[in-house]
Amino acid sequence: MDAKLKYKAKKIKIVFFDIDDTLRTSKTGFIPATIPTVFKQLREKGILTGIASGRGIFGVVPEIRELKPDFFVTLNGGYIEDKKGQVIYQHQIDKSDVEEYISWTKEEGIEYGLVGSHDAKLSTRTELISEAIDPIYPNLDVDPNFHEKADIYQMWTFEDKGDGLHLPDSLSDKLRMVRWHEHSSDIVPISGSKAAGVAKVVEHLGLKPENVMVFGDGLNDLELFDYAGISIAMGVSHEKIKEKADYITKTVEEDGIFDALEGFGMVEKELHFPQVDIETAEGPLATIKTNHGDLRIKLFPEHAPKTVANFVALSKDGYYDGVIFHRIIKDFMIQGGDPTGTGMGGESIYGDSFEDEFSEELYNIRGALSMANAGPNTNGSQFFIVQNQHLPYSKKEIARGGWPEPIAEIYAEQGGTPHLDRRHTVFGQLVDAESFAVLDAIAAVETGVMDKPVEDVVIETIEIED
């Protein structure tokens, strides 16, 4: 991401999101699990949020409302509410213009829709209309005279004429068409747009366009992209939108919004530490059977997929059967996995050394299973289990050093080897008290030259429960 753009992001005080194919997929309604995190973290940072949509507020699905945005710019800027339901701005279309529009649609032989602030109606129901409108507003009623009972803020065309359709001269100086679907256009006031609506909110807050970031994907976002300080197009956006965008992010399904905001430094990943609650952690269970007892270890394939695959495959092939723990240092760790028993051998399933897999969610706390190595990206078959029970630092001191608080607490209370973090790949964790007792018993054996046990500590076999 461009450094100049990241600098501009420091001025952002409010972020507006389109709904369809931005916050959610229009065809399936899928909303990424990261979206609530985005709204929560922006709120915590004091950054306001808003919805900027061609939808009416009645068409904002419950899942989006539950995000609790600060503002709803709806109907392409025609109707705006804050999170308390207070109207910030509204602009109705003159009834005479609505009536003239309806007359024109009849002359053109096309159908129409009428949109109020909190409801909408159709002139009729056809397959073409249903295909266009139902993904946005399912089950709208038919009422061609809705304008006689309610103020109208926006209208629709339903047709297959595309860009060849134009409003008559008598209306074109008051209304304009904004294409949003291959079979439909929004008919909005000539000055109406998402950009105009967002500008009303910005004015209401005493902010400037440079304080605004917007996410969108469709043609009705064009003016908004011109207006905002930073404009971000989704991966599936219309080409004209991509051309105007300051940045193009991934698709909805690929967590595009979170990805972009993380790049700007406006949100951070929510970390989950499987070692903190090992009983609920998912993954294969490895049982290292030794002549001193069993070591039961939960493996973490999601965090270290290549490392776990290597360990599991070697274990199932019997590679570790009869291999000793060749290096044991009490109050530090026990190391094994080298068939030569020297600490100089061992091969991975990949036929060569393979790269480190460091995770922000795994650490060398007491009981951690980590890869032994001879430097960066030199993993083979050797591994160690952290045994140290004592650290001369408090939780506060460790956290101040940059470790997450839950991990700092474990280090302070249970021990570990934090100096090995980001140097050795953690890929498993002891799961029960019995395993820790075996670990401590092995660590307490008598050792001689090169920290090798006087009497062999043998891995009889390693069993894997997938």
Per-residue pLDDT tens digits of the chain, which is 466 residues long: 788 999 999 999 999 999 999 999 988 889 999 999 999 999 999 999 999 998 899 989 899 999 999 999 999 899 999 999 999 999 999 999 999 999 999 999 999 999 999 999 999 999 999 999 998 898 899 999 999 999 999 999 999 998 889 999 999 999 999 888 999 999 999 988 899 999 999 999 999 999 999 999 988 899 999 999 999 999 999 999 999 999 999 999 999 999 999 999 999 888 899 999 999 999 999 999 999 999 999 999 999 999 999 999 999 999 999 999 999 999 999 999 999 999 999 999 999 899 999 999 999 999 999 999 999 999 999 999 999 999 999 999 999 999 999 999 999 999 999 999 999 999 999 999 999 999 999 999 999 999 999 999 999 999 999 8
* DSSP-based three-state secondary structure for 460: strand
Q: Which CATH architecture has domain 3-85+193-264?
A: 3-Layer(aba) Sandwich (3.40)
Q: How far, CA to CA in Å, does 369 sit from each of 55, 293, 372, 428, 438?
A: 52, 17, 10, 5, 14
Residues of each domain in the chain carrying CATH 3.40.50.1000: 3-85+193-264
Q: Are 19 and 252 in contact (CB under 8 A)?
A: no
Count of helix runs (H) and strand runs (E) in the chain: 14, 21
What token pair was written down for 189? Answer: 């006031």
What token pair was written down for 454? Answer: 């006087």
> Which amino acid is residue 339, in one-letter code?
P
**What is the rounded distance in angstroms from the CA atom of residue 50 to the CA atom of residue 68?**
9
At residue 230's C-alpha, the angle toward residues 225 and 235, to 5°, is 70
Alpha helices per DSSP H over 165-227: 169-172, 194-205, 222-227
Known catalytic residue: 456? no
- The CATH code belonging to domain 278-465 is 2.40.100.10
Alpha helices per DSSP H over 177-289: 194-205, 222-227, 239-244, 256-263
Q: Which of 18, 97, 186, 255 is catalytic?
A: 18
Whole-structure pTM value: 0.66
- The domain made up of 95-189 has a fold known as 3.30.1240
**What is the rounded distance in angstroms from the CA atom of residue 186 to the CA atom of residue 57?**
15
pLDDT at position 120? 97
Q: Are 167 and 58 in contact (CB under 8 A)?
A: no
Instruction: Give one DSSP letter per residue of 1-35, joined into a string.
Output: --HHHHHHHTT--EEEE-SBTTTB-TTT----THH
Return the exposure string of 246-255: e unless at least 16 CB atoms fall within 10 Å of the residue's CB, then b.
Answer: bbebebbeeb
Q: How far, CA to CA in Å, does 413 sit from each of 172, 187, 234?
A: 73, 65, 46
List the one residue out of 272, 270, 267 whose CA is nearest residue 282: 272
Give me Rg for the CA atoms of the chain.
Answer: 31
**What is the rounded distance in angstroms from the CA atom of residue 332 to the CA atom of residue 416?**
8
Residues of each domain in the chain carrying CATH 2.40.100.10: 278-465
**What is the rounded distance in angstroms from the CA atom of residue 132 to the CA atom of residue 261?**
31
Alpha helices per DSSP H over 401-464: 405-414, 433-443
